[in-house]
Amino acid sequence: MDTMSPLERVLRGIAITLVILFFMFPIFWIFLMSFQTNETILRVPPSIVFEPTIANYQALLTGRLETAAGTLEIRFMRNLFNSLFLSTASVALALVLGIPAAYAFARLKFRGSEEIAFTLLSFRFAPPLLVLLPLVIYFQQIGLANTYIGLIWVYQLICLPLILWIVRGYFEDIPADIEHAYRIAGHRWFTTFRKVALPLAGPGIAAAGLLAFIFAWNNFIFALVLASADKQPVTVGALAFVTASGIQFGQIAAAIVLSIAPVFALALYAQRYLVEGLSLGAVKG
């Protein structure tokens, strides 16, 4: 690499610039748009020089949209709350269900454990609508239609396999001898699990939880099929918001910014674990 010719250096520089431009420009542009009024957005030619306004964010936060036709109620904050609540509760449940199972799969090899683990993993790959469509009908019959509980349960489809497989990898990485030594010292199985295995796998559990949160937050299809307006997360809400507000492009952009900002923050925080999580533990970052 040290033998790079000047020409190659220039070509590499151009390539990297183009890559950054392609992947960053949309985010940059939408971010700018969120601080503009319709007048500056609709200018021809478009320009990055404008008087920034926070009116779009104000309208979203207060839930009142002033239009020429009158005041419109927007429920975007509700969507934001739903995203936060659904993702947090789903991850919490997935951790409670997944950690003991991950430990069992990693440490206490038992008959059928691999088959069960694979069945769980295969849900990660099955078409979600295949499970969702019957649930539309079932949920109506058993009263789970448009409830948080129903949605949180369905979110386990994405959260549980992720947590199970990543955390299992972390448990497998802990030398079994440490736990043996602790147990030989006379501690119960559960104490060993709580005092030794859990803290050692802690970072892995945290990373898996953060990733599951991101996947749950970004999910679209579950809530599109199963939730009505008052339970919809931002992914579905923002889309409905477009038709509702129609011409207020700055507010749509602001809604997008508010919807993706939390995930960006988490991803930055957990970036060390992203590779491992995205590949379900197959590749280490």
Partner 1 sequence: MSDATLATPPMRRFRVSRRALPYLLSLPALLACILILIPFATAVGYSLQRYRLSQPWAREWNWGQNYVDLFNDPAFWNTLRVSLSYAFVVVGIELLLGLGIALLLQRRTRFNNFVSIMLLMPLMTAPALAALMWKLMTNPGFGILSYFMALIGFPDFRWAASPNTAFLTVVLVDVWVYTPFIMILLLAGLRSLPQQPFEAAALDGVPRLFVFWRITLPMLTPYLLTAVLFRMIESIQQFDIIYAMTQGGPGNRLTVFQVEAYLNFFQATNVGRSAAILMILWVITYILSTIFIKNWLRLREKTRAGA
Q: Scan residues 85-104 and list those touching partner 1 (CB under 8 A).
A: 96-98, 100-101, 103-104
Subset of residues 23 to 82 that bind partner 1, contact rule: CB under 8 A = 23-24, 26-27, 29-30, 33, 41-46
| Distance in angstroms (rounded) separating the CA atoms of residues 164 and 175 | 19
Rank residues 35 and 249 by Cβ distance to partner 1 and give the closer one: 249
Is 118 a residue that touches partner 1 (CB under 8 A)? yes
Task: Decide if 124 contacts 130 (C-beta within 8 A).
Answer: no
- Mention every residue, 6+ apart, whose C-beta is less than 8 A from residue 33: 41, 249, 250, 253
Subset of residues 159 to 198 that bind partner 1, contact rule: CB under 8 A = 160, 164, 169, 172-173, 176, 180, 183-184, 186, 188-189
Rank residues 61 and 221 by Cβ distance to partner 1 and give the closer one: 221
3-state secondary structure of 185: coil
| Distance in angstroms (rounded) separating the CA atoms of residues 254 and 133 | 33
Is 282 a residue that touches partner 1 (CB under 8 A)? yes
Largest CA distance in the chain: 77
Is 120 a residue that touches partner 1 (CB under 8 A)? yes
| Distance in angstroms (rounded) separating the CA atoms of residues 146 and 253 | 27
Subset of residues 229 to 258 that bind partner 1, contact rule: CB under 8 A = 234-236, 238-239, 242, 249, 252-253, 256
Least Å from the CB of residue 280 to partner 1: 7
Q: Following CA atoms 162, 153, 87, 195 in sequence, which dihedral angle do they give, to the nearest 10 degrees?
A: -60
Least Å from the CB of residue 71 to partner 1: 24
Among 6, 127, 141, 142, binds partner 1 (CB under 8 A): 127
